[in-house]
Structure 1
Amino acid sequence: MRDPAKASDLLDWYDRHARDLPWRVSPADRARGVMPDPYRIWMSEIMLQQTTVAAVKEYFRAFTERWPTVGALAAAEDAEVMAAWAGLGYYARARNLLKCARVVAKDYGGTFPAVHDELLKLPGVGPYTAAAISAIAFDDAQTVVDGNVERVMARLHDEHTPLPAAKPVLTAYAAALTPSERPGDYAQAVMDLGATICTPKRPACGLCPWRRSCSAWAEGTAAELPKKSPKARKPVRRGTAYLARRVDGAWLLETRPEKGLLGGMLGWPGTDWLDVTVDAPQEAPPIRAEWKTVAGEARHTFTHFHLILTVKTALVPMERVPERGAFVELADFSPSDLPTVMRKAFDLARG
């Protein structure tokens, strides 16, 4: 009979193998009484939503160097924060980041609340993020379940119910293992185990501290878990991006509406993005000009659809006034401030 999994076995492993991450306090430092900064934990958790650790590290360093406290972030200009976020994707997170920082600064005196239910009241903080901040920053024994934890729990219990239907079952498994002592280290330990040992492909079961407790290892089913329901096929949308450059080098840009995809981000004026099976986008140039279609297409995949952009360019005289957007002087223009899909259009136009 297999021994039941124990939090202490995983914590022993974590004490030796914890990842060195810029937002993390090591288990050794934590044992000496050094606690994480809730601001940094919150920032990392928002950035890590649907984004890899590798992609987040440099953004996290840049943000926390530029805005080292929640008060500093709350006082920042929206455009600055959105530009700094460009390229990280899922831009609603950046808007919620600002909203949350301002609520914490105004209503909580610049200090994140330690109570789980209060964290849930903050903009952009859902059940997972609230649990992660509570556990990691405040050592509250909350159950933290991300994709890594779901995978570990599915294998540990040889659970074949496909995701997302399996989420409540996997959460219950995780809750049963969450200890009252060192819950912050434990939450990070399970995530580290999933990220480095119990990986989606070719799990390194021989190195796992829970191997002898793992039902999937005993049954030889680890590599096929967790099961997932088939995903619906993503639709394809088309649109046109208009890149107008004034003779002095200034570019015509617009800030997208606050609500909707890429809300609040700087980008090229364009048409609506329409499902190719329903209708074709109508031409909507932002300024009168002789538009030329660039060879090729800018392609990008969002969470719910694939986008194909036709890119058109034009050179316009100084006196021409746009119907939409505003010209940004060449000295103030940086392609890195644009979201990825807009940079792809720019790169295509540049040739």
Structure 2
Amino acid sequence: MDNYCFGIPKSSEYEFDKANFVLPGEIEEKYIESKDEKFIYVDAKCPVFEIGGILHPDKNQNEYFRLDASQKDKYTDAHKWLGQSTAGGCLRFYTDAKAVALKVVYRGCVLGMHHFCDRGVYGFDMHTGTGTDRRYAGKAMQTFAENPNENCQVLELYGSAVELMINFPLYGGIQKLSIGLPADCFVSKPSPRKYLPVAFYGSSITQGGCVSRPGNIYSNLLCRALDCDNINLGFSGSAFGETYAADFLGTREISCFVMDYDYNSPTAQTLADTHLPFYEAFRKGQPDVPVVFVSHPCYGEPSAEGIKRRDIIKATYDVALSRGDKVYFVDGNEFFPQPYRDLFSVDNLHPNDLGNYYMAKAIWPKLAEALGVK
């Protein structure tokens, strides 16, 4: 049964009546982007909002960037480009507004992919609620202006005050983001997260290809089930076990690391040459953080090459286990049930929404065990 496979959703026990509420007009002027007859537009970098998953731009060269923006000279060209995609990033706040506007200026959007819808590429999606009880607010689906680099959308909110979570684009970047708030509403910081962030490293699948909207990638589903932020280092076609990515994760406060590194390595031998070294580089900075190793999803009978790759990942797991490390292994060949495994993919490579759900469902027991989730 799929009923509550991630546990029964539960709201946060945080008491918002103790929060520091402000009116939009009371926000420091330097954060006010513009005003119109309906909204006061506030820079998303304002302290009344909480940015999660990526480093706050104020602490990262004023960029929405998934790696350390001050170290770009060390990165591959692909990572300089894809680092500006905001997969895993989100913004949260609490408000009694009846409507909220989202205004974005994009950068670095990957357009025109035949197997990946635009909403999944550079759309935002919104959820209301707290803790693990967050509900998708369907009216926030991305709309498209004539100019694809700029867009503004309005989300109607009904009922009492809510916490709003906005998931950032997966294959698009943010140059500027502002939140439109009615002048007569109040706003405050959101409830505290239950867990420290979970980090992910891997390929285009890890980055989010090819779901219909950001909230449906397996890493966001897992972090939704935990109530934590998502540090997503998925790099489409270019995750080759770069130790600088492991070093970066070594500087972040995280509760667990899902090492989804497999598919992009050109051969089984190059995977063997880089998989354990990447893990060891991560361990230098994070000696005690649990790690979940994941092999690539399989939509049919595993190939000889696929079996070699899985065995290489399992070998890293075995080495780590022999050292007494807190590690877990998930076999991607077991993600999807028989028959009709083709239902879970758009192209027999990238999982669709259903495929991402089943990936999250398969990884969840190990992740929950690693974090002691009851």
Q: TM-score, normalised by structure 1?
A: 0.27
User: Which structure has the larger Rg over C-alpha atoms?
Assistant: 1
Higher strand share: 2
Provide the TM-score with structure 2 as the length reference: 0.26
Whose helix proportion is higher, 1 or 2?
Answer: 1
